[in-house]
Chains A and B, each alone.
Chain A
Amino acid sequence: MGGPHPPLPPTIEGQTYCLRWNNHKSNLVEILDALIKVESYVDCTIVVDDQVQFKAHRVVLAANSPYFQAILQDVPMDHCSIIFPGVKEFEMRALLDYMYTGEVNVTQSQIPTIMRIAEELEVKGLFDMADLKEKFNKLSEEHADRASHGYPYTAASTSALTAPYAMAASSSSAQGLPSGVHNGKEHHGADLPIPSLHNSSSVISTSSNISPSAAASSTSSPPYTNYKSPYSNLYSKSPGPAGNGSGVGQTKSANAPQTPTHSQSQPSNQEHGQWPLSPSAAVSMLGSVYDSVPDNPLKRKKISSMTSMLMNRDTPILRNVLAQANPADSSQPMSFSLPGASKSDKSNADKNSPHTGPMGAHNNSQGQHFNGADYGNDKKYHDEPHSPYTDRSFDDDAYDAKGNFGSGFSSNANQKPEWKRYKQYTRSDIMSAIQCVREGMSALQASRKFGVPSRTLYDKVKKLGITTGRPMNRTMKRSPSNVDSSAAFSYPHGYGAEPLMSSLHEGRNDDREPKDHHRADHHHIPPQLPHSLLDHALLQQALESRGGDIAGRGALLLAAAAHAAANRISTSPGPNGSSVMRSPSPPNYGRKYGRGSEQDYAMEPERGRDRERERERGRDRDVDCSRVNERRILEQELEHEREMATESDREQDYERELRDERECDRKRLRNFEREHERERGRERKRVHRRHSHDDEETTGHVEDLSVTRRQFTSPEPVAVAQRRVRSPSYSPPPPATQATIPQPTAVECSSGVIKLATAAAVAVTATNALNPGDNSRCSSRSSNGLTMADNNSNEEFINESGAALDAATAMTAIKREIISTDDGRND
């Protein structure tokens, strides 16, 4: 249901209530029709040929015809007779019926003459429709011989006669008036009706600061809306029913307990008093308010969702409110609704009292649901408890937002974006998507293609027992805690996914961005934080939406791996933004997800990245604690990379090729760097006699590791066993003794990027493994080797584009961290 509603400060003014009788218009029409039938209150007589007289109300005539209005305005008499020579009885009868009821049944043969009379009299909706008249004329000519009452065009004519008056109104205003005899007449043309914009939104609440005439116009009752010149003065002098209504609304507002839903932090306050603006105006206002906030995806998403909501306000909200209150009869008069209530959906939520929110607002929000395309789809939100931490969609939002807001935002929001409540796809979409999956397309592609939320599609596909080529389906039921989160995880691709995607996209080229994401995924978030925040599927989804930019993926992977390595080791702030991530560290929380879904990391690179990210949640562990786990982590990394090496995905292959190419370049650069490094090392030798063993040996060692790493064939048995054993829950770190340098076996490693990361990781592992025995040596080796790698990465950074940016940064971080750590330890 709608978000919780913040308490309204009692001092807020401008709270108005819309008193609206939904049957008003129909009542008026019915009464007029009844009156003319008994000829009550008639004040004019229309005389046509053969002395046939019709009684009528001048007000109705004037309402339906600017022509009559102009005539009758100047003839203020008790009872006037309108003599209409040359007009047949049936013609005038039809026109009067039309004017009183809005529709009339005529035969096809009568249409041309009736239309002519209507044109003469400027009957709204009928006159000045040249094309229509032509059509009828043509029809009458063509079918004059076989004109019959049963002819289909009879029906057509009827519908034509009920054409909206707006056409007539606009055309009459275009017509204008030549200078007439009467002075008062000139401005009629100018004031002739332009279809009111208010009519587009039939549910505009009357508020006290709207003039009665404007309020009357907002109710979109046809005639008087448009005739400003004769009546507006009258209205403003003596408030009509609408004015009275708003007055009552004011009174009620003082007493009404269901008070309103304002949040001071939201800009919606500003237009509260003027809510009866057209929705688009409100949207633009909100949009401008949000635009003032620096660009961020959540805001964008909110705006879009608000926009969608406001645009949907076309449908009478109040009617829905009434439907809620009195399901039996939606036409009962007098119900109060809060004009600003629906805004509470998007205004900030008060998680303290979600259920005590005003009933009106509650209903309003539900009214939105009723107006939504698929009510059933919304049910889960209705049923959802309103605990702040079970609000899945919020979690979703929070994930998206945290990159920019940090944890500060999470205290702010329990609202749910409105776009999530709407199914943005049709049944045919999902069916087509399922069909595509059945035919072998991956579920994700299908979901993208048809704009169906992938989770939904997975669900459906799963239910149908279709096996997709990708292992993604398994993410669905991987862990119990994911199940409920799946409810909230639907990305209507058209809508809210856009900001997310764009933000992620930006992140690809921005080396800071991945870190922000990492921050969002940080495992130091409080344990009670919703699971879906850590959900792999969510992360995966987010990553999948980035599209298949391989370079970006590679860079991200490398960055993630590097970060993982660096952050587990580091104690001191790194220079390149890694310090941002540093924070006091509660025990690892995110890890359990990383472990739990380990076997689901089938070889998808995205998933690999996911895991890297998950792992990064554990990055801020203290060195002393993390040391124990480092080997295990590194093992897993290696193992993971081994898995990746056996990945047979074509995409991966392509990636691999690319990376291999890059690796060649990198090798060259590395050799070059190595030369430099040797020279530097010789200098260093003089300074640091301790580390003077041999630089050649160090570099050679790293090189060996790197090379041998490439030759792994099968996962190390120990590591495999560990992995299999692991369960979704947190498993204690393996004993330190188990962690050894992975034994090189024989396999072709996948990519150069990975190799780089691997080199670093192996070096670190080597450091760790050898540290107890030979501190100085290890320190020297690792630092040197990693320096090398770093330099390589820097070269890559220069040569390649933003793809390697992450890698470079990460490597730098690794290097510095390792150096500092090792130095700190050794010294």
Chain B
Amino acid sequence: MMSSDQQFFLKWNDFQTNMVTSFRHLRDEKSFTDVTLACEGQTCKAHKMVLSACSPYFKALLEENPSKHPIIILKDVSYIHLQAILEFMYAGEVNVSQEQLPAFLKTADRLKVKGLAETPSSIKREG
């Protein structure tokens, strides 16, 4: 017997796909971007929310500087790697050539990108 206040589990199976697609779309259109990342003289725009969600580093940074549209100038970050990291943040996957991989991972580690950087906690947990 099922109770009357039985709740239904509604799940959009394509939610994640849709979110990924939408974020990508928004990023491509630069819609609602509210942060500018700059490195090597070039900039790319992003969403604070995505950055904060994907990186404790950005989260802390953006929390510390509540600005409508902050500009974050990243030192010692390759623009290519920044692009790749953003791609990874928005899509969850990215293609990186093998020779770029160590530098990319290093950069990702600096920026504490979830999924790429090994956080001390995760290391501890795994260990």
Q: Which residue of B lies closest to A175 (CB)?
A: B41
Of all chain B residues, the one with the shortest Cβ separation from A86 is B75
A177: chain B residues at CB < 8 Å are 41-42
Q: Mark B61-77, 1 if CB is under 8 A from A, else 0.
A: 10011011111111110
Residues of A in contact (CB 8 Å), total 32
CB of A82 within 8 A of chain B?
Answer: yes
Which residue in A71, A122, A185 is a CB contact (below 8 Å) of B71? A71
Q: Tell me which residues from 281 to 308 in chain A have a Cβ below 8 Å from any Cβ of chain B.
A: none
A47 CA to B35 CA in the complex, in Å? 14
Work out how many contacts link A and B, with CB atoms closer than 8 A: 83
* A83 and B42 within 8 A (CB): no
Q: Indicate whether A142 reaches chain B with its CB closer than 8 angstroms.
A: no
Contact A178 B42 (CB under 8 A): yes
A81 & B76 in contact (Cβ 8 Å cutoff): no
A657 in the interface (beta carbon within 8 A): no
**Interfacial chain A residues near B79, Cβ < 8 Å:** 178
**What is the total number of residues of chain B having a CB less than 8 Å from a CB of chain A?**
22
Closest Cβ of chain A to B117, distance in Å, is 15
B79 to chain A, nearest CB (A): 8
The residue in chain A whose Cβ has the minimal distance to the Cβ of B67 is A81
Q: Is the CB of A82 within 8 A of B73?
A: yes
Check if A654 is an interface residue, CB within 8 A of chain B: no
Does A74 make an interface contact (CB < 8 A)?
A: yes
Q: Collect the chain B residues with CB atoms within 8 Å of residue A80's CB.
A: 67-71
Alpha-carbon separation in the docked complex, A139 to B67 (Å): 41
Other than the known A80-B70, A86-B75, A86-B76, what 15 A-B pairs have Cβ atoms closer than 8 Å? A66-B41, A70-B41, A71-B38, A72-B71, A74-B36, A75-B69, A78-B68, A80-B69, A80-B71, A81-B71, A82-B70, A85-B61, A120-B75, A120-B76, A180-B43
For A67, list chain B residues within 8 Å (CB).
38, 41
Give Cα A78–Cα B43 distance, bound, in whole angstroms: 19
Chain B residue nearest to A82 (CB atoms) is: B71
> At the interface, yes or no: B47 with Cβ under 8 Å from chain A?
no
Question: Across the interface, which residues of A come within 8 angstroms of B61, CB to CB?
Answer: 83, 85
A182 to B72, CA, bound (A): 17
- CB distance B65 to A81 under 8 Å? yes
Task: Tell me the bound Cα distance from A74 to B35 in angstroms.
Answer: 11
How many whole Å from B29's CB to the nearest CB in chain A? 11
Check: A181 CB closer than 8 A to any chain B CB: yes
Docked Cα-Cα span, A84 to B69, in Å, equals 14
- Chain B residues, Cβ within 8 Å of A77: 68-69
| A residues less than 8 Å from B65 (CB atoms) | 47, 51, 81, 83
B73 touches A84 (CB 8 A): yes
Among B41, B61, B68, B73, max chain A CB count under 10 A is at B41
Determine the chain B residues whose CB is within 8 A of the CB of A628 once the complex forms. none
- Tell me the complex Cα distance, A79–B40, Å: 23
Which residues of chain B in 63-112 are interfacial with respect to chain A, using CB atoms and an 8 Å cutoff?
Answer: 64-65, 67-76, 79
Identify which of residues 40-89 in chain A touch chain B, using a CB-to-CB cut-off of 8 Å.
Answer: 45, 47, 51, 66-67, 70-72, 74-75, 77-87
| Contact present for A84 and B41 (CB under 8 Å) | no
Contact A85 B74 (CB under 8 A): yes
Closest to B66 in A: A81
Cα A495 to Cα B67 in complex, Å, equals 67
B44 located at the interface, meaning its Cβ lies under 8 Å from any Cβ of chain A in the complex = yes
A interface residue numbers (CB < 8 A to B):
45, 47, 51, 66-67, 70-72, 74-75, 77-87, 117, 120-122, 175, 177-178, 180-182, 185
Q: Indicate which residue in B36, B40, B74, B75 contacts A75 across the interface (CB closer than 8 Å).
A: B36
Cβ–Cβ < 8 Å partners of A180 in chain B? 42-43
Distance A182 CA – B37 CA, assembled complex (angstroms): 13
A47–B63 Cα distance when bound, in Å, is: 13
> B83 CB to closest chain A CB, in angstroms?
8
Closest chain-A Cβ to B109's Cβ sits at a distance in Å of 14
- Most chain-B CB neighbours within 10 Å: which of A66, A74, A120, A182? A120
Q: Is the pair A181, B45 in contact by a Cβ cutoff of 8 Å?
A: yes
Complex Cα distance A181/B61, Å? 23
Q: For B42, what are the chain A residues with a Cβ–Cβ distance below 8 Å?
A: 70, 177-178, 180-181, 185
Minimum CB–CB distance from A84 to chain B (whole Å) comes to: 5
Q: Is the CB of A182 within 8 A of B75?
A: no
Q: Contact at B73–A74, with CB atoms within 8 Å?
A: no
Complexed CA–CA distance, A79 and B71 (Å): 11
Knowing A83-B61, A120-B75, the reply to whether A71 touches B43 (Cβ < 8 A) is yes
The CB with the most chain B CB atoms within 10 A, among A47, A66, A71, A83, is that of: A83
Contact A75 B71 (CB under 8 A): yes
Inter-chain contact B43/A182, CB cutoff 8 Å? yes
> Once the chains bind, are B71 and A87 in contact (CB under 8 Å)?
no
- Return chain B residues, CB-CB under 8 Å to A78: 68
- Whole-angstrom CA separation of A78 from B67 in the bound complex: 11
Q: Quick check: B43 and A83 within 8 Å, CB to CB?
A: no
Chain B residues in 8 Å Cβ range of A81: 65, 67, 70-71
Chain A positions within 8 Å of B64 at CB level = 47, 51
Q: Is the CB of B45 within 8 A of A83?
A: no
Q: Which 3 A-B pairs have the closest CB atoms?
A: A81-B67, A86-B75, A83-B72
Shortest CB-to-CB span from B58 to chain A, Å, is 10
* Complex CA distance for A72 and B43, rounded to whole angstroms: 10
Within B1-60, the residues touching A (CB, 8 Å) are 36, 38, 40-45
The answer to whether B41 and A83 have CB atoms under 8 Å apart is no
- CB-nearest residue of chain B relative to A44? B71
Determine whether the beta carbon of A181 is less than 8 Å from that of B68.
Answer: no
CA–CA, A120 to B74, complex, Å?
9
Say whether, besides A71-B36, A74-B36, A77-B69, A84 and B43 are in contact (CB < 8 Å): no
Q: Is the CB of A74 within 8 A of B70?
A: no
Point out the residues of chain A lying under 8 angstroms from B38, CB to CB.
67, 71
